[in-house]
């Protein structure tokens, strides 16, 4: 059985369609700092509205722990959605309560409305299937059909992701189908040379991806905090840099396997070493195999890849036909340690082929550093779901829609 798409739902004019989006955007003092996920939801929402459906959007935001919390309200998201659509978007102040019932009943053909944060109800993330089902049944009462379009949550067994599509005619939205097409190319049919760039803080977060992709890639570039565990696995001292000592033996195994497979794992030759974790800390560029040989000694910590490494990584990326990047190269939020991440992002915009930014911190980084989404082949909204897909794991929110991996 293949993934069910919107076309399988038939004529939608006058039909009430509940759409599970992933509108989990970053907020600062109630203001959205990156609206990428809101914009990514627009193609599906517009397609449904243009077909005459009565669209009811549901999503989570943050981790409010099963109770209403103003810090995690979807109010700013509904406002931003209204701005992007150029029309008013009614908003319900609860999930399945009186206001949600009122808003759901009032939605007109071709109109889009939003319910409050799903995670304000404990049934959404309950470990108890009966509790999740009970909540899903209340959500299902608002619709005649269900469209799943939040790729960032398809790896979760949650009420709106797994139980709800069992209760209504259900299908995947355009965002999910696009994500799957791209991820399928990365795992099954990549054009070569194929390079994967991995960064971020912890190597333990990426072990499954490394293991699953090693036999499939030509080159693996390692940056971010995880690079220090790789350096330690080669016998180098890393000062006070982020280090997962319990993963050193695992990393040694991957280095040996890569050599056996003929895969080139490229590690930094220079890093930016700082006296402390601060934007105004003293810092120097130092050889990666001599991190402790600075004035900071063993207390120095690496916070970015160096310029030599940035240039080398960029050359590899530009000469590739397929590139997947997940995880910043350094602490890009602090200006002195953003150059490595910016160099990688710039190189990806020059790829003559498929360039994929793997969601989460990487997506936030490229936007924060001034790049536009359309400069890349694809910016994933998936985060953890994308990584689990690339690890070869089963994703319940896709399987319930007919997907077979």
The answer to whether residue 128 is domain-embedded is yes
Prediction pTM value? 0.90
Whose CA is closest to 25, among 39, 12, 15?
A: 39
Torsion angle of the four alpha carbons 103, 109, 114, 115, in this order, in degrees rounded to the nearest 10: 40
118 has binding-site annotation: no
Looking at 173, 207, 239, which one is the last position of a domain? Answer: 173
The answer to whether residue 154 is domain-embedded is yes
Which pLDDT does position 205 carry in this prediction?
83
Length of the chain, please?
Answer: 405
Two tokens, residue 155: 């790896």
Any catalytic annotation for residue 360? yes
The answer to whether residue 112 is domain-embedded is yes
Per DSSP, 290 falls in state: G
Helix (H, G, I), strand (E, B) or coil at 9: helix
Are 82 and 140 contacting, i.e. CB atoms less than 8 angstroms apart? no
Per annotation, catalytic residue among 360, 382, 383, 397: 360
Which pLDDT does position 405 carry in this prediction?
67
Whether residues 208 and 78 fall in one domain: no
Whether residues 219 and 300 fall in one domain: yes
How far apart are alpha carbons 310 and 292 in whole angstroms?
Answer: 21
Whether residues 158 and 304 fall in one domain: no
Residue 203 domain boundaries: 182-391
Helix (H, G, I), strand (E, B) or coil at 13: coil
Whether residues 79 and 205 fall in one domain: no
How far apart are alpha carbons 235 and 329 in whole angstroms?
Answer: 21
Helix (H, G, I), strand (E, B) or coil at 21: coil
Looking at 121, 146, 173, which one is the last position of a domain? Answer: 173
23 has binding-site annotation: yes
Whether residues 166 and 260 fall in one domain: no
Whether residues 263 and 135 fall in one domain: no
The beta-strand segments (E) located in 121-252 are: 145-148, 170-172, 194-198, 219-222
Whether residues 108 and 253 fall in one domain: no
The answer to whether residue 357 is domain-embedded is yes
Across the beta sheet with 301-305, what order do the strands follow? Answer: 283-287, 270-274, 301-305
Per annotation, catalytic residue among 66, 211, 384, 402: 384
Whether residues 165 and 214 fall in one domain: no
Which residues have a Cβ under 8 Å from the Cβ of 391 and sit 6 or more positions away? Answer: 208, 209, 211, 212
192 has binding-site annotation: no
Which pLDDT does position 360 carry in this prediction?
72
Peptide bond into 193 cis (omega under 30): yes
Specify which residues 283 forms β-bridges with: 274
The answer to whether residue 398 is domain-embedded is no
Looking at 118, 141, 173, which one is the last position of a domain? Answer: 173
212 has binding-site annotation: no
Could you please report the per-residue DSSP string of 51-89? Answer: TT-EEEEE---S--TTS--GGG-SHHHHHHHHHHHTS--
Any catalytic annotation for residue 384? yes
Per annotation, catalytic residue among 138, 157, 202, 393: 202
Whether residues 35 and 121 fall in one domain: yes
Whether residues 158 and 228 fall in one domain: no
60 has binding-site annotation: yes
Tally of domains in the chain: 2
CATH number of the domain within which 72 lies: 3.40.50.1260
How far apart are alpha carbons 194 and 393 in whole angstroms?
Answer: 21
Which pLDDT does position 46 carry in this prediction?
98
Whether residues 202 and 322 fall in one domain: yes
Two tokens, residue 154: 């398809």
Instruction: Find where tokens 């399987």 sit.
Output: 399
Any catalytic annotation for residue 318? no
Any catalytic annotation for residue 127? no
156 has binding-site annotation: yes
How far apart are alpha carbons 197 and 222 in whole angstroms?
Answer: 6
Which pLDDT does position 364 carry in this prediction?
84
Whether residues 307 and 201 fall in one domain: yes
Per-residue pLDDT of the chain (405 residues; tens, 9 = 90+): 489 999 999 999 999 999 999 999 999 999 999 899 999 999 999 999 999 999 999 999 999 989 999 999 999 999 999 999 999 999 999 999 999 999 999 999 999 999 999 999 999 999 999 999 999 999 999 999 999 999 999 999 999 999 999 999 999 999 999 999 999 889 888 999 999 999 988 888 888 889 989 999 999 999 999 999 999 999 999 999 999 999 999 999 999 999 999 999 999 999 999 999 999 999 999 999 999 999 999 999 999 999 999 999 999 999 999 999 999 999 999 999 999 999 999 999 999 999 999 867 788 889 889 999 899 999 988 878 888 888 888 899 999 999 986
């Amino acid at each position: 059985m293949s993934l069910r798409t919107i076309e399988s739902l038939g004529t939608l004019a006058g039909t009430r369609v509940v759409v599970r989006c992933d509108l989990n955007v970053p907020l600062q003092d109630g203001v959205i700092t990156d609206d990428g996920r809101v914009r990514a939801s627009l193609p599906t929402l517009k397609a449904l509205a243009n077909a005459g459906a009565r669209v009811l959007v549901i999503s989570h935001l943050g981790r409010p722990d099963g109770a209403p919390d103003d810090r995690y309200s979807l109010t700013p998201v509904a406002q931003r959605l209204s701005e992007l659509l150029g029309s008013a978007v009614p908003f319900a102040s609860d999930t399945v309560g009186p206001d949600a019932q009122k808003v759901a009943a009032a939605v007109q053909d071709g109109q889009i409305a939003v319910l409050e944060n799903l995670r304000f109800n404990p049934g959404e993330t309950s470990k108890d299937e009966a509790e999740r089902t009970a909540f899903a049944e209340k959500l299902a009462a608002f619709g005649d059909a269900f469209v799943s379009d939040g790729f960032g949550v398809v790896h979760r067994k949650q009420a709106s992701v797994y139980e709800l599509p069992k209760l209504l005619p259900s299908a995947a939205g355009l965002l999910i189908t696009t994500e799957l097409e791209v991820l399928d190319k990365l795992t099954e049919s990549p054009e070569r040379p194929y390079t994967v760039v991995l960064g971020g803080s912890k190597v333990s977060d990426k072990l499954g991806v490394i293991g699953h992709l090693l036999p499939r890639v030509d080159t693996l570039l390692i940056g971010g905090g995880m690079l220090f565990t790789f350096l330690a696995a080669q016998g180098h001292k890393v000062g006070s840099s982020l280090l997962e000592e319990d993963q050193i033996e695992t990393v040694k195994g991957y280095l040996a396997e890569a050599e056996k497979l003929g895969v080139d794992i490229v590690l930094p030759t220079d890093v930016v070493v700082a006296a402390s974790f601060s934007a105004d800390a003293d810092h120097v560029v130092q050889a990666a195999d001599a991190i402790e040989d600075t004035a900071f000694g063993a207390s120095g910590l690496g916070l970015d890849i160096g310029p030599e490494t940035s240039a080398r990584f960029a050359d590899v990326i530009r000469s590739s036909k397929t590139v997947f990047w997940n995880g910043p190269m350094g602490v890009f939020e602090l200006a002195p340690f953003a150059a490595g991440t910016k160099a990688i992002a710039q190189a990806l915009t020059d790829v003559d082929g498929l360039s994929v930014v793997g969601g989460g911190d990487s997506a936030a980084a490229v936007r924060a550093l001034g790049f536009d989404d359309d400069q890349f082949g694809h910016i994933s909204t998936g985060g953890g779901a994308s990584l689990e897909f690339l690890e070869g794991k089963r994703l319940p929110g896709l399987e319930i829609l007919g997907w077979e991996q």
